[in-house]
Amino acid sequence: MRTATMKKKIEEPRVSCPVCGDTEKESSYEKDHGMCSRCWWFLSPEAGGTDHGLFMIRVRTKDDAGRRMAEIRPRGFWSGTIEIHEDIQHIYNHETQTAEKRWNIRVTWGCGGSDGTVDEIRTAENFTRAMDHAVMLAKIWKMERKEGKET
C-alpha cells in the first residue's frame, strides 16, 4: 500500500489595511505607503485620488478632447466601482448639413455586497453615499459642458 504524504498548503499571512479595513495578502500590501493595493490604486499621487471617508474617488482625463472618467470605490463594498464616463457624441443634422458635438455623461456601477469589513447596512449606506456623489458629479460635468458650449 502506498502512503501519500499530504502537504498542507501554506497560506500567506494577511495584513489589515488601516485605510479601508480590508485584509489582503502580505505580498500585495503596499508597505511603503501603509495601505492595501486597492487603496493605493485610488489614493496614490499618480492616480490623483482623494479620500472622502465613506468612499474614495479618482478622476482622470481620458484624452486630448478633455473627456473625463471618475471611479468611486465605496468602503466595504467588494464589487468594482461606480464609474462616471464623459463621451462626445457626433450628430449629423441633415437639414443644415452640419455635424454637432453633444456631450454624453453616463453613470455605471457593479452589483455586489459587503466584503466583510463592515456590516451589510453600513455597506449599503456607503454605496448610497457614493452613488449620490456620482450623480452629483455627473450633473456638474453636464452643466460645465453646457456652459462651455454657450460661450
pTM for the whole thing? 0.69
Ordered by start, the domain boundaries in the chain are: 13-47, 48-150
Percent of the chain with pLDDT over 70: 86
List the 68-74 sheet strands across, edge first. Answer: 49-51, 55-61, 68-74, 82-93, 98-109
Average pLDDT over residues 75-92: 80
Residue 58 cell numbers, joined: 479618482
Torsion angles phi and psi, residue 101, rounded to 5: -95, 135
pLDDT digits (tens, 9 = 90+) for 2-47: 555 555 567 788 888 887 777 788 888 888 878 887 777 777 767 7
pLDDT number for residue 79: 60
Residue 12 cell numbers, joined: 500567506
pLDDT digits (tens, 9 = 90+) for 97-116: 888 888 889 999 877 667 67
Cross-strand partners of 95: none
Residue 46 cell numbers, joined: 499618480
